Amino acid sequence: MKKLPKMIIRFLLLLSLVMVIQFTPIFNRVVNFFFDKNVPLIIIPPMENKIRGVITIDLQVFDKSDPLSINVYLNKQKVEAIFPLLIDTNRFPDGDYVLMVEVMDSTIRKNKAFDTVEFIIDNTPPLVEIILEKEILEPGGFLKGRINLKEKALIEAKIAGENLVLLETKPSEFQNSESNILSFFFIYGIPLNQELPFKEISIKAVDEAGNKTSKLLTYQLKDRKFSTEFLTIAEGKTPLLDLELLRAERKIVEEVLFKMIKGIYWEGDFIPPVDSVVTSPFGVKRIYNQGLLIGRHNGIDYRAKKGTGIKAANSGFVVLSEFLRARGGTVIIDHGMGVMSLYYHLDEILVNRSDRVKKGQFIGKAGDTGITTAPHLHFEMRIRNVAVDPSHFYGGKKNDSPLY
Ligand SMILES: [Zn+2]
**Selection from 202, 198, 199, 204 nearest residue 216 by Cα:** 202
In a domain, 347, yes or no: yes
- Whole-number Å distance, alpha carbon 156 to ligand 1 midpoint, is 37
Domain boundary residue among 62, 88, 121?
Answer: 121
Q: With contact defined as beta carbons under 8 Å apart, do 276 and 329 qualify?
A: no
| Spacing, Cα 25 to ligand 1 middle (Å) | 97
Beta strands in 162-211 (DSSP E): 162-163, 167-169, 182-189, 198-207
**Whether residue 180 sits in one domain with residue 266:** no
Is 370 found in the same domain as 256? yes
One domain for residues 258 and 180? no
- Which residue among 86, 121, 156 closes a domain? 121
- Residue-level pLDDT at 398: 44
In which band, very low, low, confident or very high, does the pLDDT at 370 lie, cut at 50, 70 and 90?
Answer: very high
Q: What is the distance in angstroms between the CA of the first residue and the CA of the last residue of the chain?
A: 115
Tell how far CA 239 is from the center of its chain. Answer: 46
The CATH number covering residue 57 comes to 2.60.40
Looking at the fold, whether 211 and 352 belong to one and the same domain comes out as no
Residues paired with residue 74 on neighbouring β-strands, in sequence order: 77, 99
pTM of the model: 0.79
* 157 and 101 co-located in one domain: no
Instruction: Calculate how far, in angstroms, residue 327's C-alpha sits from the geometric centre of ligand 1.
Output: 9
* Residue 297 alpha carbon to ligand 1 centre in Å: 6
Q: Are residues 246 and 312 in the same domain?
A: yes
DSSP category for residue 241: G
**pLDDT tens-digit readout, 17-36:** 888 777 777 888 788 888 88
Q: Per the domain annotation, does 20 fall within a domain?
A: no
pLDDT at 403 > cutoff 80: no
**Ligand 1 centre distance from Cα of residue 85 (Å):** 72
- 87 & 163 share domain: no
Do residue 138 and residue 205 come from a single domain?
yes
Q: What is the pLDDT of residue 343?
A: 98
Domain count, the chain: 3
pLDDT at 245 over 80: yes
Is residue 134 domain-shared with residue 78, that is, in the same domain?
A: no
Residues having C-beta closer than 5 Å to ion ligand 1 = 301, 378
Last residue of a domain, one of 72, 95, 121: 121
Q: Is the peptide bond before 375 cis (omega within 30 degrees of 0)?
A: no
Put the strands of the sheet holding 182-189 in their side by side order.
128-135, 142-149, 182-189, 167-169
How confident is the model over 247-252, as a mean pLDDT? Answer: 95
Domain match, 262 and 387 both: yes
Residue 339 is predicted with a pLDDT of 96
Asked whether residue 342 is assigned to any structural domain, the reply reads yes
The pLDDT of 47-60, averaged and rounded, is 90
CATH number at residue 162: 2.60.40.10
What is the pLDDT confidence band of residue 402, given thresholds at 50, 70 and 90? Answer: very low
User: Which structural domain range is residue 148 located in?
Assistant: 128-220
Query: What is the average pLDDT value for the chain, to the nearest integer?
Result: 89
pLDDT tops 60 at residue 241: yes
What is the pLDDT averaged over residues 275-301?
91
Domain match, 214 and 254 both = no
**Cα atoms found within 13 Å of the Cα of residue 1, Cβ hemisphere only:** 0
| Alpha carbon of 299 to ligand 1 centroid (Å) | 6
From the CA of 91, how far away is ligand 1's center (Å)? Answer: 66
The reply to whether 257 falls in a domain is yes
* Co-location of 87 and 216 in the same domain: no
Distance CA 310, CA 331 (A): 10
pLDDT of residue 3: 67
> pLDDT of 96-143, one tens digit each?
999 999 999 888 888 899 999 999 999 999 999 888 888 899 999 999
Cα-to-centroid distance, 283 and ligand 1 (Å): 10
